[in-house]
Amino acid sequence: MFEFHLIELAMMLASAVRNLSRRSFSTSKAVSAQQLTVRDALNAALDEEMERDEKVFLLGEEVAQYDGAYKVSRGLWKKYGDKRVIDTPITEMGFAGIAVGAAMAGLRPVCEFMTFNFSMQAIDHVINSAAKTFYMSAGTVNVPIVFRGPNGAAAGVAAQHSQCFGAWYSHCPGLKVVSPYDSEDAKGLLKAAIRDPDPVVVLENEMVYGVSYPVSDQVLDKNFVLPIGKAKIMRPGKHITIVAHSKSVETAMLAANELAGKGIEAEVINLRSLRPLDSETIFKSVQKTHHLVTVEQGWPQSGIGSEICARVMEHETFFHLDAPIWRVTGADVPMPYAKTLEAAALPQVPDVVTAVNKVLGVK
């Protein structure tokens, strides 16, 4: 009898594993790949670029002796010392200005904001000094600086610590803006940002810092760099296109997985870059699927989804649409503190599934 129960238990475990693998996003190739957290991917990118170029340095609040508020800069102060990993006072306006000046003088600063909500204290330096100088100097003064840190909603930190600045910064000519989702994005885009001759805003997400994602040997290579301005098709599909960035890619993938169980194959696009925006990848996908839904955690008015809608409308791709585009966004309110209200203010998987069903006319 005991042996029978063991066999029965083994069969149940095998069935559970099979069901889990069916629900997973990963392919067999991805399952066999190595795992890397987003935090470690960012740390590796900083380390490799600081090792590669002595002009690269990191500054910000608690980045040195404390190893970073989120431990992204762990070990870098001990390895590179006080001159290249610099703890600053709590004054975003002050250290952002120092960083921009250093970039104008030929160094390559990486300026960390503990959250991009605090970058509002320094936005004059980001826009008026960093973004506009190359144009205003007739191309004679480059400003090779990276502004990076967590952006968008975290958990339980309310309105002043939860805002997405993707639309804000991608509105501004002179800036490049990237919004990584997984470990591959984080490493490849941060390295590209540090090497870029112009200012780049890297909008990370605190909620995925500790999440492990499968990565290939290529991603782990010191020479791995992703191009800024190129989106990635995370999941191919033929019925509808879902476009997202940052943590909303996860929401889109979960929704696509649920839709697949109902026979709807959604193509999921991870934007990776908000400025420049990879319109061509979106156009090609929509011309194939004839339907489009955008997903973002930011507010609806003048958002990333709004920009995508406008670009499709102004392009011949508009004539390939069989239904209006649908935006899934954060609620048009400051982020509530209460956990239940916070969840209601952010796009959830059922919201995306509902949007897809409405666009496709599925009841």
Domain with residue 169: its CATH number is 3.40.50.970
Considering the entire predicted model, what is its pTM? 0.90
Placement of tokens 């004054």 in the chain: 91
Residues 38 and 184 in one domain: yes
Q: What is the DSSP string of 6-35?
A: HHHHHHHHHHHHHHHHHH-S--HHHHTSEE
> What is the tens place of the pLDDT at every residue in 228-272?
999 999 999 999 999 999 999 999 999 999 999 999 999 999 999
Residues 111 and 160 in one domain: yes
For residue 178, which phi and psi values (nearest 5 degrees)? Answer: -120, 150
Q: Which of 24-28, 96-100, 277-281 has the lowest mean pLDDT?
A: 24-28
What tokens appear for 235 in the block? Answer: 């999941």
Cα-based angle 139, 145, 147 (whole degrees, multiple of 5): 135
Q: For residue 308, tell me if it sits in a domain.
A: yes
Among 86, 13, 84, CA closest to 49: 84
Q: Which domain does 38 fall in, by range? A: 34-220
> What is the tens place of the pLDDT at every residue in 113-149?
999 999 999 999 999 999 999 999 999 999 999 999 9
Residues 59 and 208 in one domain: yes
Q: For residue 165, tell me if it sits in a domain.
A: yes
Q: For residue 10, tell me if it sits in a domain.
A: no
Residues 189 and 261 in one domain: no
Residues 270 and 146 in one domain: no
- Residues carrying an active site annotation: 92, 161
Last residue of a domain, one of 220, 250, 267: 220
Total number of domains constituting the chain: 2
End-to-end CA distance of the chain: 49
Residues 93 and 241 in one domain: no
* pLDDT given for residue 31 in this prediction: 52
Instruction: Name the pairing type of β-strands 200-204 and 85-87.
Output: unpaired
Q: What is the CATH number of the domain that holds 311?
A: 3.40.50.920
Higher pLDDT pick, 302 / 27: 302
* pLDDT given for residue 33 in this prediction: 73
Q: For residue 23, tell me if it sits in a domain.
A: no
> What is the tens place of the pLDDT at every residue in 3-42?
434 444 444 444 444 444 334 444 444 455 799 999 999 9
Residues 55 and 166 in one domain: yes
Residues 263 and 211 in one domain: no
Higher pLDDT pick, 277 / 11: 277
What tokens appear for 260 in the block? Answer: 């697949």
> What is the tens place of the pLDDT at every residue in 39-68?
999 999 999 999 999 999 999 999 999 999
Give the CA distances from residue 223 to residues 36, 202, 286, 299, in Å, rounded to whole numbers and listed in that order: 17, 19, 33, 36
Q: For residue 9, tell me if it sits in a domain.
A: no
